[in-house]
Amino acid sequence: MQVNENNFRPKIVAFCCNWCSYAGADLAGTNRLNYPADVKIIRVPCSCRVNPMFILRAFQRGADGVIMCGCHPGDCHYTSGNYFARRRMTLLFSMLDYMGIERERTRVEWVSAAEGAKFAATMNEFVETVTALGENKRLEDLRCKSKQ
Amino acid sequence: MQRIGVFVCHCGTNIAATVDVKAVAEAMKNEPGVVFSVDYQYMCSEAGQNLIQDTIKEQKLTGVVVCSCSPRMHEATFRKAAAKAGINSYMVEIANIREQCSWIHKDIMTATEKAIILARTAVAKVQLNAPLTPGESPVTKRALVIGGGIAGIQTALDIAEAGFDVDIVEKQPTIGGKMTQIDKTFPTLDCAACILTPKMVDCAQNEKIHIYAYSEVESVSGFVGNFTVKIKKKARYVDTTKCTGCGICTEKCPKKSVPNEFNLGMDNRRAIYIPFAQAVPKVATIDADNCNMLKNGKCGVCAKVCTAGAIDYKQQDEIIEEQYGAIVAATGYNPISLEKYDEFAYSQSKDVVTSLEFERLTNAAGPTSGQLLRPSDGKHPHTIVFVQCVGSRDTSGCGKEYCSKICCMYTAKHAMLTREKYPDTDVYVFYIDVRTPGKLFDEFYRRAVEQYGVHYIKGMVGKVAPRADGKLLVQASDLIANEQLHIEADMVVLAAAIEPDKSARSIATMLTASMDTNDFFTEAHPKLRPVESPTAGVFLSGVCQGPKDIPETVSQASAAAAKVIGLLSKDKLTCNPCVAHSDELMCNGCSACEKVCPYGAITYSDKEFRQPDRTVAIRRVASVNEAVCQGCGACTVACPSGAMDLKGFSNKQIMAEVDAICK
């Protein structure tokens, strides 16, 4: 993993749907599969609950990367939620890209409840990518920066 | 302002070994709204729960954060505890510091830091929690079982026994499933038909059970207690109410060369057929792809010979809609296709058969009337080689990585029965491991080796080469003697891996039940809730959940039935209160939410609103039917005016979580 001089650790917010990905993350834990502590998970009922506002807010508050995980297409607990999520995120990510938030800072991944290994692998990979990109300064609102 | 209590669990050493729990509890004391913070060995224990309850009362807490294992594990436990102490159970939030923190990190510093952030996030969320009251929904007291094999039959019988109506949907013309094709069952050597067919008849005669044979599930909507299912009754071209099952049509039909599925294509049936003598329901079915009358209008023999007048060439598929309170998936399995295993010459020689085909060759109702004869020339085989793990425990990507579980035992059975009936036949079994965990299983296997003299050889078969003289040259390695073997066999039997039935995937999608990477249904908890799907109201029975033998299948089927009975015996179910809610003052009536709602839970109505200038305006606004809403939140994001929000996962709550993480 590429770590730059001042030991930069990214802040990463992961939105996980309750039915597949959150359970997948739990399974990664049960199987003691390591991934960096930089990832913090927010549980949502479905990936379609993830409002683009939440992602903008995260970047504004200083997140360096945001990943959204849901059930595989066709396997959504609510039948079609992840399709909505996929469309919304495609639009949002291209807009963020246009605004100068690198495409690699955002990601959508489908992780089922049985894919603990995939969850851990995805997080390792994502953290590595975001670490290489360095700090996100483009959208960060300096007024929100913590005092430390 | 909330008065929040934080309870940090050690979980023995599960959390405490990598997270400094005392530091987490200490750090939480400085969070806004937190009036009490403590760590304890086991929060889920009775003493731990008492600690929470006493503190709620003493400190007059309005909100609780428990830093412990996953909310999927103990959220319900802590909510119940809080409710007992007199606060609303939805004022509890869990910070997952075990599965998503202590178990994945090794460094105490990092893990503690992360645990503090996760706890802070939960505190930030609980600040904005509001008390929620679950609603109630009625329960339709009828169950649906998808699949009519031994799993489905046992589940249906048990549910009917408890006094509830139950329907079986089976895609084949008869119920019975794979067990009808099996000759004897291990380890007792009971005849499969003798123990199965009475159960099939019981199903047919039980007035609580309705069998939709030759039918498929078309669509499923609704939710636990209130499923609406469309069932397609495929056209049999035979009126099932008139057909007596006499079988004259199946003898007179001139189309004689249709491969018989029941005997796995080893003999032929007619275009109109009854799968086997004990079929339930015992009625004829016309195979439309092979019937001359249906294909080109020339024939009509069956209609002429049918004394009951049951033949109806104009019959159409019929769609039936039914309501159910619970659904059981019992979709079963199939042996895998062996096209990727051509080294065993399955496609090149008729004498290389799968174990299920071998089962038919030894069955009295099979193509050879139970005589073990080579399919190629009808001669008695003198050397038989059994190959284990064909496609099972295969990490090469060609087959399945899992163990199919039943092959070791049925191969021991085949080998033993062959030696018993034909002592002049040499029987070789090539295996990787022999796995016989089960009551009387190992004794059975040892009998095959010691009493019946079956040659068990540890090693895999590399190649089967058919020779011009009809013999099969088997090249194999004996790993224990460390030598190469060349066996001239008359027959080779392949223990093909089993896989979930192909229809399971589409059924899982309809049920919104999750599956693993092998297409087996996932259980709600691998140890503690093995017969329930994570989707409420959907239960699992038999091999659709994972490979298992008949006794295990029957146990699981009865267990699933018990769960269904438990559900159906309730008059009302409490609904999830985390549902969408529309703020009518903000709603502009655009219908965006209605379009994305998968459940049709959103309706519009005109309502009167007092304007600031004291006039009354009528506006079209959305309202959510809380009994129908499942709480996915799709509408909350679609809503352009921000009127729609989700209780328990509100915009403000999630934003607060984001802020707490990014702080």
> What's the rounded mean pLDDT across residues B217-241?
94
DSSP secondary structure letters along B353-398 = EEHHHHHHHTSTTSTTTT----TTT-PPPSEEEEEEEESSS-TTSS
Give Dmax (Cα) for chain A.
47
Counting residues of chain A whose pLDDT is more than 70, the rounded percentage is 93
> pLDDT band at B527, cuts 50/70/90?
confident
CA–CA min distance A16, chain B (Å): 12
**A window 36-65, beta carbon within 8 A of B:** 37, 40-46, 48-54, 57-58, 61-63
Domain with CATH 3.40.50 in chain B: 4-128
pLDDT at A1: 45
Least Cα distance to B631 among B585, B587, B597, B594 occurs for B597
Measured between beta carbons, the chain B residues lying within 8 angstroms of A34 are 104-106
pLDDT at B194: 94
CA A83-B218-B332 angle, to 5 degrees, is 95
* Amino acid, res. B511: L
Q: In angstroms, rounded to a whole number, what is the distance separating the alpha carbons of residues B37 and B55?
A: 10
Whether this prediction's pTM lies above 0.90 is answered by: no
> What's the rounded mean pLDDT across residues B552-571?
97
**Is B45 touching A (CB cutoff 8 A)?**
no
CA A100-A101-A104 angle, to 5 degrees, is 130
CA–CA min distance B443, chain A (Å): 35
Domain with CATH 3.30.70.3270 in chain B: 580-647
- Residue B521 gets which letter from DSSP? B
Instruction: Please report the beta strands in chain A, taking only residues with DSSP state E, as ranges in sequence order.
Output: 12-17, 39-44, 65-70, 106-110
**What does CATH list as the number for B4-128?**
3.40.50
**Is A25 touching B (CB cutoff 8 A)?**
yes
Of the candidates A13, A41, A77, the beta carbon closest to that of B512 is on A77
pLDDT at A132: 95
Query: Cis peptide before B423, with omega less than 30 degrees from 0?
Result: no
pLDDT at B515: 86
CA–CA min distance B349, chain A (Å): 39
Measured between beta carbons, the chain A residues lying within 8 angstroms of B511 are none
DSSP secondary structure letters along A19-36 = TTHHHHHHHHHHTT----
Task: Please say whether the beta carbons of B4 and B34 come within 8 A.
Answer: yes
Of the candidates B514, B596, B633, the beta carbon closest to that of A19 is on B514
pLDDT at B516: 86
Pick the residue of A18, A27, A86, A123 with the most B CBs within 10 A to test the interface with B by mutation. Answer: A18
Per-residue pLDDT at A4 exceeds 90: no
Distance between start and end Cα atoms, chain A: 26
CA atoms within 13 Å, Cβ hemisphere of B41? 4
pLDDT at A5: 53
- Residue B495 gets which letter from DSSP? E
Lowest mean pLDDT among B335-344, B429-438, B597-606: B597-606
CA–CA min distance A4, chain B (Å): 18
The model's pLDDT over B21-33, given as tens digits with 9 standing for 90+, comes to: 999 999 999 999 9
CA-nearest residue to B535 within chain A is A77
> What's the rounded mean pLDDT across residues B310-330?
96
- Residue B555 gets which letter from DSSP? H
From the candidate CATH numbers 2.60.40, 2.40.160, 3.40.50, 1.25.40, the one assigned to the domain spanning A12-134: 3.40.50
- What is the crossing angle of helices A21-30 and B71-84, to 10°? 100
H-type alpha helices, B534-639: 550-568, 592-596, 634-638
Lowest mean pLDDT among A36-50, B418-432, B449-463, B573-587: B573-587
- Residue B101 gets which letter from DSSP? I
CA dihedral of residues B415, B419, B424, B425 (deg, nearest 10): -10
Per-residue pLDDT at B340 exceeds 80: yes
The model's pLDDT over B162-203, given as tens digits with 9 standing for 90+, comes to: 999 999 999 999 999 999 999 999 999 999 999 999 999 999
Measured between beta carbons, the chain A residues lying within 8 angstroms of B90 are none
Q: In angstroms, rounded to a whole number, what is the distance separating the alpha carbons of residues B494 and B355?
A: 6
Judging by DSSP bridges, how do beta strands B383-390 and B426-431 pair with one another? Answer: parallel
Domain map (residue ranges) of chain A: 12-134
Q: Do A26 and B72 touch (CB under 8 A)?
A: yes
Higher pLDDT, B136 or B59: B59
Tell me the C-alpha to C-alpha distance, in Å, between residue B441 and each of B417, B444, B551.
15, 5, 12
Interface A-B: count of C-beta contacts within 8 A? 156
- Residue B173 gets which letter from DSSP? S
> pLDDT band at B657, cuts 50/70/90?
very high
Per-residue pLDDT at B555 exceeds 90: yes
CA–CA min distance A57, chain B (Å): 7
Counting residues of chain B whose pLDDT is more than 70, the rounded percentage is 100
Q: Do A81 and B634 touch (CB under 8 A)?
A: yes
Q: Do B658 and A25 touch (CB under 8 A)?
A: no
> What's the rounded mean pLDDT across residues A44-64?
95
Secondary structure (H, E, C), B292-311: HHHHHCCCCHHHHHCCCCCE
Per-residue pLDDT at B385 exceeds 50: yes
**What does the block give as tokens for B279?**
């079929």
| ipTM of the modeled complex | 0.94
- Residue B61 gets which letter from DSSP? -
**What does the block give as tokens for B187?**
């380890």
Q: Do A37 and B634 touch (CB under 8 A)?
A: no
Tell me the C-alpha to C-alpha distance, in Å, between residue B479 and each of B61, B74, B391, B431.
68, 49, 20, 10
Length of chain B (residues): 663
**A window 65-124, beta carbon within 8 A of B:** 71, 74-81, 84, 88, 112-115, 120
The model's pLDDT over B232-289, given as tens digits with 9 standing for 90+, comes to: 999 999 999 999 999 999 999 999 999 999 999 999 999 999 999 999 999 999 999 9
Q: In angstroms, rounded to a whole number, what is the distance separating the alpha carbons of residues B114 and B102?
A: 9
CA–CA min distance B15, chain A (Å): 12
Q: Do B658 and A57 touch (CB under 8 A)?
A: yes
pLDDT at B524: 84
Fold of B580-647: Alpha-Beta Plaits (3.30.70)
Measured between beta carbons, the chain B residues lying within 8 angstroms of A21 are none
H-type alpha helices, B569-611: 592-596
Q: Do A41 and B105 touch (CB under 8 A)?
A: no
Q: In angstroms, rounded to a whole number, what is the distance separating the alpha carbons of residues B562 and B555?
A: 11
pLDDT at B600: 84
Domain with CATH 3.50.50.60 in chain B: 142-234+317-332+501-568, 334-499
Q: Do A29 and B659 touch (CB under 8 A)?
A: no
**B window 553-582, beta carbon within 8 A of A:** 578
Least Cα distance to B125 among B64, B36, B52, B51 occurs for B64
> What's the rounded mean pLDDT across residues B328-354?
96
**B window 500-519, beta carbon within 8 A of A:** 508-509, 512, 514-517
Q: In angstroms, rounded to a whole number, what is the distance separating the alpha carbons of residues B119 and B124?
A: 9
pLDDT at A146: 59
> pLDDT band at A2, cuts 50/70/90?
very low
Q: Coil, helix or strand for B591?
A: coil
Q: Which residues have a Cβ under 8 Å from the Cβ of B215 and sit 6 or more positions away?
A: B169, B170, B171, B231, B232, B233, B234
CA–CA min distance B526, chain A (Å): 11
B590 Ramachandran zone, left/alpha/beta (phi>0; psi -120 to 50):
alpha
Give Dmax (Cα) for chain B.
104
B631 Ramachandran zone, left/alpha/beta (phi>0; psi -120 to 50):
left
Q: Do A45 and B632 touch (CB under 8 A)?
A: yes
Higher pLDDT, A141 or B402: B402
- What is the assigned CATH class of domain B334-499? alpha beta
Fold of B142-234+317-332+501-568: FAD/NAD(P)-binding domain (3.50.50)
**Is B106 touching A (CB cutoff 8 A)?**
yes
Per-residue pLDDT at B461 exceeds 60: yes
- What is the crossing angle of helices B108-127 and B21-28, to 10°? 30
Q: Do B661 and A63 touch (CB under 8 A)?
A: yes
Q: Do A114 and B661 touch (CB under 8 A)?
A: no
Of the candidates B534, B596, B654, the beta carbon closest to that of A42 is on B654
Average pLDDT, chain B: 95
Of the candidates A29, A71, A144, the beta carbon closest to that of B98 is on A29
**Is A144 touching B (CB cutoff 8 A)?**
yes
- Which residue's structure tokens are 């597949």? A20
Q: Do A77 and B632 touch (CB under 8 A)?
A: yes
Counting residues of chain B whose pLDDT is more than 90, the rounded percentage is 91
pLDDT at B38: 96
Query: Cis peptide before B530, with omega less than 30 degrees from 0?
Result: no
CA–CA min distance B517, chain A (Å): 7
**What does the block give as tokens for A133?**
């990109």
CA-nearest residue to A45 within chain B is B632
pLDDT at B125: 97
* Amino acid, res. B206: N
Task: Please say whether the beta carbons of B79 and B90 come within 8 A.
Answer: yes
CA-nearest residue to A33 within chain B is B104
Least Cα distance to B621 among B600, B640, B606 occurs for B606
